[in-house]
Structure 1
Amino acid sequence: MVPIYTVTKKGFKKMIRSLDKRYVIPSRTYFSQVAIPDLYEKCRAKVETELSKVEYYAVTTDLWSSRTTEPYISLTVHFIDEDFTLKSRCLQTAFFPENHTSENIAAGLREAVAAWGLDETRQVCITTDNAANMVKAASLNEWTRLQCFGHRLHLAVENAVKKDGRINRTAGVCKKLVGHFSHSWKARSALEKAQKELNLPSLTSLCDQWRQVQWVQSQLS
């Protein structure tokens, strides 16, 4: 789970030499053009073999943006194998630069299902969030749609929290507190110094955790 160019870094090369001086690290081109594509083809062939034996299946899908705001669409298939074991396989997370209209989403999903040789008539249902374009896309494809329980639960909790002024005030104070120490290096240094002097646990990691929570909430909203 690291970038391919890691194999060109001095530190990585030094570590490999320490492990085995005889080993020659392949180039980044080898990994990008030979090793990874080969792994993909083997993995795809294995998944296709599994899917060829599936009688009925369900799928889930979602649209999301990367940290660099690039749009993607994912498709995951769920099925029960011959041993009656529930299996899930992420078939694709594909770049989706087209406008996120229901027509484009419907076409993209239909192409993805066809690319994996799945028979639409054997699809039991598709699970999506409640976005209008997703709902209509499933309707355009005439696919039975189920609402995402996780998304519904998130909306229920969010709406319940909004109605409680005490929680809003508490969250507001936390946001201001974390924001203050996150945007001021001097304040953060002073906090760390005070914590050490008073033998208190470091709270700077909480700032990072809160930022992660905020990022997750923004993705779910």
Structure 2
Amino acid sequence: MIKTLDPRYKLPSRKYFSQVAIPNLYQQNRCDGQTVRHFAATTDMWSSRTMEPYLSLTVHFISEEWLLQSHCLQTSYFPEDHTGELLAAGLHEALDSWGLSEEKLVAITTDNGANIKKAIELNNWTRLQCFGHRLHLAIERGVKDDRIQRAVGVCKEIVSAFSYSWKKRRDLAIVQNDLGLPKHVLMRRLQGGDRVK
């Protein structure tokens, strides 16, 4: 594609990225971290597609030019048990490895997991609850109303009826065509958010 776009452009090699670009980016971010007066952080546990656990750490600060900066410093392999004590040590070690002083940490945002709450408490850091997680919990609690559950159940039955009957799908397409409506299909959700038409 690049050759077609502009044959004069030489795409940087893998060696360039691994030996020049990434080390330069690392040094730049490392220097930024040492000149920061105060910073906030976010952390979370992640699982790869092969279910390997990782601990991420992102810092947020305002630069000397008054620009908001966010740097994901690391997403490191974390095979140990996810106890509060081990997470506390892992986060402490992550800050140390980037030369960031705990005294400059204003607050850290996390989810509501008991283990991460314990870790932050053990490190004696100020913890903020993640707004996204709070919103998700509020919505979950809000839809536990019997009227909403009934409406969701009826919608699931309708989608299921069209999903398993080619005749109903055919008839839906005919009606949409007769009424001049767009050709939409009903979708059902599987676990993990995957969709099936």
State the TM-score bracket (shorter-chain normalisation).
Answer: 0.7 to 0.9
Q: Distance in 2 between matches of 1:92 and 1:155?
A: 28
Q: Does 1:112 align with 2:90?
A: no
Paired residue for 1:73? 55
Specify which structure has the bigger relative contact order, considering alpha-carbon pairs within 8 angstroms and separated by 6 or more residues.
Answer: 2
User: SS state of the match for residue 143, structure 2?
Assistant: helix
- In structure 1, give the amino acid aligned to 2:140: E
> Aligned ranges for residues 4-19 of structure 1 at < 5 Å?
15-19=1-5
Cα separation, partners in 2 of 1:175 and 1:128, compared to 1, 3 Å: same
Q: CA deviation at 1:122?
A: 1.4
8 Å CA contact retained: 1:59, 1:78: yes
Q: CA RMSD in A?
A: 3.3
Structure 2 distance, partners of 1:16, 1:83, is: 36
Residue of structure 2 aligned with 1:138, choices 99, 110, 120? 120
Partner of residue 215, structure 1:
193
Cα distance in 2 between the residues matched to 1:185 and 1:36 = 53
Instruction: State the alpha-carbon separation in 2 of the partners of residues 161 and 189 from structure 1.
Output: 29
Q: Which residue does the alignment assign to 1:103?
A: 85
Per the alignment, residue 12 of structure 1 pairs with: none
Q: Is structure 2 residue 36 aligned with structure 1 residue 58?
A: no
1:173 and 2:121 matched: no
Looking at structure 2, the residues matched to 161 and 66 of structure 1 have their Cα atoms a distance apart, in angstroms, of 30
Contact 2:177 2:183 in 1 (8 A): no
Q: Are the aligned partners of 1:195 and 1:202 in contact in 2 as well (CA < 8 Å)?
A: no
How much does 1:65 deviate? 2.6
Higher strand share: 2
State the number of aligned residues.
193
- Residue type of the partner of 1:148? C
Residue by residue over 1:155-195, the C-alpha shift from the partner in whole angstroms, topping out at 9 and shown as x without a partner, is 12211211x1121122233344445666x595797478546
Deviations 1:42-87 (A, max 9, x none): 2222212222211111111111334443322211101122233322
Q: Is this contact kept in 1: 2:62–2:68, CA < 8 A? A: yes
Identity of aligned residues (%): 49
TM-score (norm 2): 0.78
| Residue number in structure 2 paired with 1:88 | 70
Change (3 A) 1:153 1:23: closer
Q: Which amino acid aligns with 2:184?
A: L
Q: Which runs of 5+ in 1 are unaligned?
A: 1-14, 217-221
Amino acid of the structure 2 residue aligned with 1:200: L
* TM-score of the superposed pair, with normalisation by structure 1: 0.70
Aligned-pair CA distance for 1:131: 0.8
Aligned mates of 1:188, 1:36 — CA distance in 2: 55
SS in 2 for 1:59: strand
Q: State the distance in 2 between where 1:185 and 1:67 align.
A: 34
User: 1:154 & 1:101 partners in 2: Cα distance?
Assistant: 24
Query: Which has the larger helix fraction?
Result: 1
